[in-house]
A and B are shown apart, each in its own frame.
Chain A
């Protein structure tokens, strides 16, 4: 699992534009949890790295834009980082041919921002959403095999 996380962060480091000088500081416990979900669903290593990278970008985008205000330190950088990670998520999902994930997650992510904009704090952790996607994907694969 450590190798998966290391490879993921390495992939993200090389994917971020150098001028962004991005600091990749995902929440370690969420990262571990996401990695263990990928392991549980027996996702091949080569794909796990990509899925975990996409997960990290979404998590970082949320983190940077959480509870910002004019007195926040580095407000500008936080806003730009959040926007950049969000756009890089789409860019990499396309590159990794994971647009089905984007399609699945799009309404969930949108609803998250609606709740945040309306001042409602409650939200499902991203790891739940990742798990639901993998579950749905495997169910669809089983159904296809049965047909």
Chain B
């Protein structure tokens, strides 16, 4: 006890003298043992503390009924309110989100993650619809919302009047569906692949369009509505192609760069993952500096480089890339939603409830109209058609998010309507994230939207997918049609023959790539082997015979026994052990990060099935319990 007291006193003395020295810092007369110099560490400290706060909030506030994003927004809001009103000594700059921080630090990891985890095949199959929604849909939404609001403003519905280009600028930033919000909500809702890829793909690719429109209308606003000429409109349309194609090209170039570097960096395995992260980030920054769509650049970079990087890095390298990407993305997303909550307090506000309500209504209405019209057109050309329920989810799932906020915050301060726009943007975001985000899951369940099937892909299906690809390819060739199979086939052949040997190490020239089948086999062998053993075990009990031709790769090395009973009981214990291993592996498997968003959703479904009381996969049949 004595020792403890004396230590305590010593520490207290040191601290008090330090504080005293710290506070009398201006005198500079005494020697300082410890001093408290906050400004020196201010920025890193803030960043770190926000990360900690946001992550802690995400872990603490986790509910089955609300998507994480909505909870975080609410937490952020409360926090902001508390800081603003209670802890006024915390300066506002500490918790205000500057749009440059948002665009340079928070957004890139999230979009990169979206690109890297993109289910490429699903994207390819729905490319037409995704592109249509992203381009035509966004343009339609912008023009419709902007014109409607302008029209109403002419009748003085709103507190502020604005020019046509002002409101069109606003419309362009509010009409874009936000990929961050979509991921955050849909990941927890488990809709089927088809819906997910359409909403998500649209959200990702409409950035190019929104950026073009935003810039175009902002330029027009700066020029002044009187001086804008027809040629400027033409320039605007050309710039769309320049921005999107330029961004894509930058992304592809950097993807190749990453692949080549990882191919040649075999002797520095620990360091090569750095390139996997930094180069796409460079692509983002570079594209941004040239005025091209940085989001397109970084997401396409992620999409293209994935297969080559996976081939060049070691399995642990690939895994660490996977986890680190996810970590960066989830971290950024968490902080982002918190800030969205906080910024409701800190932004200069101008509440015009009529404007806000009109904007929200127009957003919903025009999106729905757009979706219906586009789907009707698409259904004429597609094999897999959009049902009415699909269309409803597509319209309802058009969530706005942080990108809109970032763009609104970066509006020029000279624009007098900026506060109103910012306020309305925040209101719309809150509405979509909170109301739509929260209600979408019950609605999905109520409408009995087809959820992704929860069973694991069987071996048969992996093989047959490949098989049908080749078959349909052949049929198309016979019939002389250049359809989607032809395109995919040509791409795959090009990939196997030219791209892979250049970009990946140890890739001999092959005519076609069958690694999918081999991987599929490796993946499901253990669990399925066990299931078959389960069947055999039952037969064992029934017939008291042993089937020698079990699936071979396990330790079921059965010797023909003298006493069948001894054998049966020993094989039962072995089976039990294997079952335990499999159970453990299955649990681990489902907690592992999957390769892309589709797999992630599947696994999440599987997990929720596992937790249900009658998951037949894991429990042995009770009938064979005793001999």
Q: Do A and B come from one complex?
A: no
Q: A residues bordering B, Cβ < 8 Å?
A: none
